[in-house]
Amino acid sequence: MSTYRDRTHRNSTRATVLRTVATRERRSHLSAPRVPTVGIDIGGTKVMAGVVDAEGNILEKIRTETPDKSKSPKVVEDTITELVLDLSDRHDVHAVGIGAAGWVDSDCSRVLFAPHLAWRDEPLRDALTARLAVPVMVDNDANTAAWGEWRFGAGRGEEHLVMITLGTGIGGAILEDGQVKRGKYGVAGEFGHMQVVPGGHRCPCGNRGCWEQYSSGNALVREARELAAAESPVAHGIIARVGGHIPDITGPLITELAREGDAMCVELLQEIGEWLGIGIANLAAALDPSCFVIGGGVSAADELLIGPAREAFRRHLTGRGYRPEARIVRAQLGPEAGMVGAADLARLVARRFRRANRRRVERYERIGVGLLPTRGWVSGR
């Protein structure tokens, strides 16, 4: 990365350099070793681990519960290590990629903060590399999902892609010229906490009116439960379905009823979709990508959500009518996107690791030493 930055600063023809870098980055996927790697997706409730080949095919997948947030960081490391060792029994594992629900620093090594886990500025990459003896990379789960969709899913061939994952909240990621844009400190893409309604709904982040309070699984369920609790006539269908037990109202149930034609559920998804479209128009004003990929559990509603999002996007896009419009598409890889993307990103780390090793070996061969000397001996010669 430092070479890339130095070059862009020195060179006045920045665009040319960026193109060159992008080409090299794209080539790097093509030249990455075509070996199976393990991808791990650590969410709020489940940890999913899988062996993924160079074409993005999942060779085997296992799942377990996410350790409770009261548990020490070591317990989570134990869980990850057990999953990798289990898969290693049946597969050759060349690298491990981890997509974690949390903030990961821009070097992809430390988890700065994870709301569902005990990680606080946790040096996860180094801790796991020491235990697993293969290269490890760590990234935010929205970044790994975006990478998966860009390599093997709905975003293939897009040079400027923004991914939005609608789950309990909103996750986001930016990909440009085949690179994940992580920002200076690694926390770019937190679109869910852009404030869209001054003084609006309180968000667990501490602010009010965050986008994810209006366009997410939580927002959908909150609205449905409010209507059911008020015994609104429009909510009779859903009240009957849960036998009057309002806490049983969930996102998947609302989607199911909407597909069956329940007017309230269709309307709620439409509202969520409209807020989605408004937020996307704001993101287009800032980032101007060619494609938005919508993933996460709520995206299962498909056109019931994305149709209204496209309409709202067109109504709110700045410069509409005078600019090309970005595509808005549903993600294709489903809940495995983060795991597949993490595995594929790990393949790049595996390559760098092998190259570094090869360079080291070449250096030793040049100075006529057959066996690897100690570091102190080399630097003191």
- The residue among 131 and 208 lying less far from Zn ion, judged by its C-beta, is 208
Q: Which stretch binds Zn ion (CB under 5 A): 61-69, 114-122, 204-212, 370-378?
A: 204-212
Least separation in angstroms between residue 210's CB and Zn ion is 3
Say whether residue 205 binds Zn ion (CB under 5 A).
yes
Q: Is 233 left (phi over 0), alpha (psi -120 to 50) or beta?
A: alpha
Radius of gyration of the chain (CA): 23
State which residue, 131 or 201, has the beta carbon closest to Zn ion.
Answer: 201
Closest CB 267 distance from Zn ion, rounded Å? 25
Burial 199-229 (b: 16+ CB within 10 A, else e): eeeebeeeeebbbbbbbbbbbbbbbbbebbe
State the Cα–Cα distance between residues 264 and 260, nearest whole angstrom.
Answer: 11
Closest CB to Zn ion among 205 and 287?
205
Residue 204 vs 252, nearer CB to Zn ion: 204
Q: Can you tell me the distance from the alpha carbon of 223 to that of 266, in angstroms, rounded to the nearest whole number?
A: 12
Contact 165, 179 (CB under 8 A): no
Q: Is 241 an interacting residue with respect to Zn ion (CB under 5 A)?
A: no
**Beta-strand (E) ranges in the chain?**
37-42, 46-52, 58-65, 96-100, 103-104, 111-113, 120-122, 136-140, 160-166, 170-176, 179-180, 291-295, 327-330
Sole residue written with tokens 């269908």: 237
In whole angstroms, the minimum distance from the beta carbon of 213 to Zn ion comes to: 7
Nearer of residues 26 and 208 to Zn ion, judged by Cβ: 208
- Binding residue for Zn ion, selected from 110, 125, 182, 193, defined by CB under 5 A: 193
Do the Cβ atoms of 99 and 140 come closer than 8 Å?
A: yes
| Closest-CA residue to 95 (of 41, 139, 137, 32) | 137
* Residue placing its CB nearer to Zn ion in the complex, 37 or 218: 218
Token pair belonging to 197: 């309604």
List the one residue from 42, 47, 174, 203 that touches Zn ion (CB under 5 A): 203
Considering beta carbons, is residue 58 or 205 the nearer one to Zn ion? Answer: 205
Which whole-number Å values give the CA distances from 262 to 44, 123, 256, 306, 381, in the listed order?
A: 30, 48, 9, 18, 78
Query: What is the contact mask toward Zn ion in residues 336 to 365, using x (rule: CB under 5 A)?
Result: ------------------------------
- Which span (187-195, 261-269, 284-292, 309-317) binds Zn ion, by CB under 5 A? 187-195
Closer of 193 and 351 to Zn ion (Cβ)? 193
Considering only 112-120, 130-138, 198-206, 265-273, which stretch makes contact with Zn ion by CB under 5 A?
198-206
- Residue with smaller CB distance to Zn ion, 8 or 195: 195
Q: How far is the CB of 365 from Zn ion (least distance, A)?
A: 55
Q: Residue 207 Cβ, how far from Zn ion at the closest point, in Å?
A: 5
Contact criterion met (CB below 8 Å) for 44 and 99: no
**Which of 73, 81, 86, 29 lies closest to 55, judged by CA?**
29
Give me the least distance between CB of 203 and Zn ion, in Å please. 3
In whole angstroms, how close is the CB of 211 to Zn ion at the nearest point? 8
* Calpha distance 264→242 (Å, rounded): 15
- For the CB of residue 191, give the shortest distance to Zn ion in the complex, in Å: 10
**Residues touching Zn ion, count (CB under 5 A):** 5
- Provide the minimum distance between the beta carbon of 88 and Zn ion in the complex, in angstroms, as a whole number: 39
Please enumerate in sequence order all residues whose Cβ is within 8 A of that of 85, keeping only pairs 6 or more positions apart, or say none: none
Q: Closer CB to Zn ion, residue 193 or residue 347?
A: 193
Per CB under 5 A, 162 contacts Zn ion:
no
With CB under 5 A as the contact rule, the residue among 42, 87, 108, 210 that binds Zn ion is 210
Least separation in angstroms between residue 156's CB and Zn ion is 32
**Interatomic CA distance for residues 101 and 296, integer angstroms:** 13
Residue of 184, 134, 139 lying closest to 163 (CA atoms): 139
Q: Which residues bind Zn ion (CB under 5 A)?
A: 193, 203, 205, 207, 210
